[in-house]
Structure 1
């Protein structure tokens, strides 16, 4: 019998290759689903801030907050006078008497915070999804460098939002 020199390579069987491909496909799908859902959720508020040209802008003075929304007098930019009954989603940093720039969602009485703080706050779901997706990318796909980059991007977005608000 002949001896082989060097290392012998072990061939993977076809079921091992199929399982490996299946695992990677499922984990890639889960990571993609997390990120697409986060962008979809974030864009619901973010597009009012990003595409604010032509929308009604103004300033909201917070009078009271309850049940996840805050209300107060809204003073639009321009000749129109102040209006009551406008609502905005309550964020962590909203205090009674605080004033901040807002934009009106078309055909509603809802407001969205504008500026850097409003833009970052609108993308918070994406920051959380990036952190979750990094676990899937690192653990399920075994792509550790990509996972670290994704986690750092998500953490940076969340920290920037925290300090902006």
Structure 2
């Protein structure tokens, strides 16, 4: 084979290797970006789902505080009479509390009244932990994406263990 043809084949092999390296680097970058976006979206969804209740439980200044004696439960909610504990709060004959595994008929719970209605949420440590349970689930789910998609095992373990700790603490406190 003439030297010019041999040199031509050799340089084409080198350029195809460069193109292959570049394309694999671009694909790796695209995968990392996509998995990063998925992780961020999962975590945002967890915070969003938690904040709907957490804002009332954590930012208590000016909120009506009291207790509710649960008299009946059904269709995802429990109802009972509200007795105020904070100054300026008015007693109510019936308020609505979300029916969870931790709410039972005949028991009394400390609650905060959501503004402008008869809906109440649990207060105290139990209420705070219960409000952030969706974030705990999101942390556990995101840890799988971080480990598998981003190939970052240490941050994945931290996220997963944090999510399990949050859900377990809520279970124990409630």
TM over 0.5: yes
1:110 and 2:110 matched: no
Q: Write the distance in 1 (CA, Å) between the matches of 2:89 and 2:57.
A: 21
1:55 and 2:69 matched: no
Alignment of 1:143-154 (within 5 A): 143-154=152-163
With over 3 angstroms needed to count, the CA separation of the structure-2 counterparts of 1:133 and 1:54, relative to structure 1, is: same
Total equivalences in the alignment: 156
Higher helix share: 2
| Structure 2 partner of 1:101 | 110
Alignment of 1:13-162 (within 5 A): 13-77=21-85, 78=87, 82-162=91-171
Contact 2:65/2:89, CA 8 A, preserved across alignment: no
Q: Which structure's CA Rg is the greater one?
A: 2
Give TM-score scaled by structure 1 length: 0.90
1:59-99 residue CA offsets vs partner (Å, 9 max, x unmatched): 01111111111100110124766312210111111111111
1:80-124 residue CA offsets vs partner (Å, 9 max, x unmatched): 663122101111111111111100000111001000000000000
Which sections of structure 1, spanning at least 5 residues, go unmatched?
Answer: 1-9
| Structure 1 partner of 2:3 | none
Which sections of structure 2, spanning at least 5 residues, go unmatched?
Answer: 1-16
With over 3 angstroms needed to count, the CA separation of the structure-2 counterparts of 1:81 and 1:50, relative to structure 1, is: closer
> Which SS does the other structure have where 1:70 is aligned?
strand
With over 3 angstroms needed to count, the CA separation of the structure-2 counterparts of 1:13 and 1:44, relative to structure 1, is: same
Give every structure 1 segment of 4 or more consecutive aligned residues whose post-TM-superposition deviation is greater than 3 Å: 78-82
Give TM-score scaled by structure 2 length: 0.86
> Which SS does the other structure have where 2:41 is aligned?
helix
